[in-house]
Structure 1
């Protein structure tokens, strides 16, 4: 019985839904981490003060804002190529020899039978994951808070 259909079924049953699910979860986790980093940066900018002209200013009051990033797309690509061969070889060779010597006749026969069944399977795979990240302006509410903070802080001289 051929093993080729069984191997084909195994190769074609790749866990594509799980791969897509894991990519989605990874993108969501990475997006959350980037957002948390931007919020921490905003808090640091609000508490980091520098002196200009004898007055103290935090970075936010001077117009610095944290950078926010967002994933715009994520792509997973998988390629699989495989080849399978199955072959059967059957061979029969026969030979006979006849010898006559001093009135005696000698006859010899030889038969050689061979049978071979050969299987060959090769598979190659390649995968890649790509994500595109873009920077975004701060959220509108944060911008409003920053404007109010800058209005309350004296202008640099």
Structure 2
């Protein structure tokens, strides 16, 4: 009797899995392909942002892994909602934290892509004769 009951339960579950299995795996493959395409982009984005703040880039790769892979495969539980809240808060902080205004060991800030150039005069100051010629030209222009 118990054996038939167990077989009946297995049969009901098996039919549910057989009917939904192709859609399940097609969705999993599609999501996995998207994650594989987005992971390098997320690593680059988070690594650059964390370098801008002044930290090591490995933290950006770890954060990209958490956002892309771990959160997708966790079950829906109250603990998962807390994990999602934590992930969103940390992501928001990365978004609003200002970067360092000066260059750090990882390079220049995004708004300063190269070393600032000290302004120096391109030519020597005009001689006395050149200044007199310029004054004459200005006087002629004023007369017109």
Bigger Rg, structure 1 or 2: 1
Larger fraction in strand: 1
Common fold by TM > 0.5: no
TM range (shorter): under 0.3
Higher RCO (C-alpha under 8 Å, 6+ residues apart)? 1
